[in-house]
Amino acid sequence: MADAYWRYADPRQQVAVPQAAPAATPTPFKRPRPEFGGAPELVGYYPRDEDNTKHAGAIYASYDPYSQNGMPYAAAADPARTISGGRPVDDPRIPVHPSMDSRVMGYGGGRMDAPLPPDASNTLFVEGLPGNCTRREASHIFRPFVGFREVRLVNKDSKHPGGDTFVLCFVDFIAPSQAAVALDALQGYSIDEHDPEAGRLKLQFARFPGPRSSGGPRHRR
DNA sequence: AGCACA
């Protein structure tokens, strides 16, 4: 029962990247297997859907890569795939209570009663990243968090001359509550495990949350 | 300590 549940919960990832399986691709498997065209670096993170299907649920609890591309969810597109009583479970834009959303259990499970600070916003202001930190690298840190949208890096040089340049980071989330979870989880996070004092992340809510996330002038090709 | 992009 529960097995079947997750077995049908899995197709989310299959439909999420439709362009990954062009007509030319032969599919020797029973079901079309996604080639992870959207996020190849995540291949190792996904369990093959043979046996540990319940683990898949646990992983989806923490990882929500599909909310970034604005892709329609399989659950929303195909009513037959809808789980959990007809509600499109994956719509993070709906501010559900953590207790209702199993995906939040990964990082936010213990704090469903955490009240949001009054200055909570969708955007986090992160400092403490090393000066050579890349956008990709910073994204790796925040992407696992539910509601993650995008990260923006800003290079600044220190006040007094001679100081080394540092990196500011603005991280957009879909909802302030989701930003709060990441803020709390990554507060004091050591970038470099060998030199813990070098990169301790300090996170706050950004003063002027301005998600330029979707549709902004990006150097896209 | 530091808060940018539209």
Supply the CATH number for residue A142's domain.
3.30.70.330
Whether A83 and A149 map to the same domain: the answer is no
Within a domain: A220: no
DSSP 8-class letter at A1: -
CB A82 within 8 A of CB A67: no
Whether A159 and A200 map to the same domain: the answer is yes
Most confidently predicted of A47-51, A58-62, A98-102, A170-174: A170-174
Hey, CA dihedral for A203, A209, A213, A214, is it positive or negative? positive
* CA atom of A81 to C1′ atom of B4, Å: 41
pLDDT at residue A163 in the model: 72
Within a domain: A101: no
Positions in chain B where some atom is under 7 Å from a protein CB: 1-6
pLDDT digits (tens, 9 = 90+) for A70-103: 444 444 444 454 444 444 445 444 454 444 444 4
Residues 88-127 of A near strand B (Cβ < 7 Å)? 123, 125, 127
Average pLDDT of span A96-111: 47
Whether A72 and A133 map to the same domain: the answer is no
pLDDT-derived band at A57, boundaries 50, 70, 90:
very low
- Judged against a pLDDT cut of 70, whether residue A124 lies above it is answered with yes
Average pLDDT of span A146-153: 96
pLDDT at residue A112 in the model: 56
CB under 8 Å to A16, separation ≥6 — which residues?
Answer: A34, A38, A65, A66, A69, A71, A73, A74
- Judged against a pLDDT cut of 50, whether residue A49 lies above it is answered with no
Within a domain: A118: no
A204 touches strand B (CB under 7 A): yes
- Judged against a pLDDT cut of 70, whether residue A65 lies above it is answered with no
Whether A128 and A59 map to the same domain: the answer is no
- Judged against a pLDDT cut of 60, whether residue A217 lies above it is answered with no
* CA atom of A126 to C1′ atom of B1, Å: 13
Within a domain: A214: no
More confident residue, A123 or A1: A123
A158 touches strand B (CB under 7 A): yes
- Structurally, chain A folds into a number of domains equal to 2
Residues 37-56 of A near strand B (Cβ < 7 Å)? none
More confident residue, A90 or A150: A150
More confident residue, A207 or A105: A207
Whether A128 and A198 map to the same domain: the answer is yes
Nearest nucleotide to A123 (CA to C1') is B3
Whether A148 and A200 map to the same domain: the answer is yes
- Judged against a pLDDT cut of 70, whether residue A8 lies above it is answered with no
pLDDT at residue A151 in the model: 96
Within a domain: A176: yes
pLDDT at residue A139 in the model: 96
Nearest nucleotide to A121 (CA to C1') is B3
Nearest nucleotide to A204 (CA to C1') is B3
pLDDT at residue A29 in the model: 54
The rounded mean pLDDT for chain A is 66
Structural domain span for residue A188: 123-205
Whether A85 and A129 map to the same domain: the answer is no
Within a domain: A217: no
pLDDT-derived band at A132, boundaries 50, 70, 90:
confident
Whether A130 and A87 map to the same domain: the answer is no
Within a domain: A216: no
Percent of chain A with pLDDT over 70: 43
A155 touches strand B (CB under 7 A): no
Q: What residue is closest to B5 (Cα–C1')? A: A212
Within a domain: A102: no
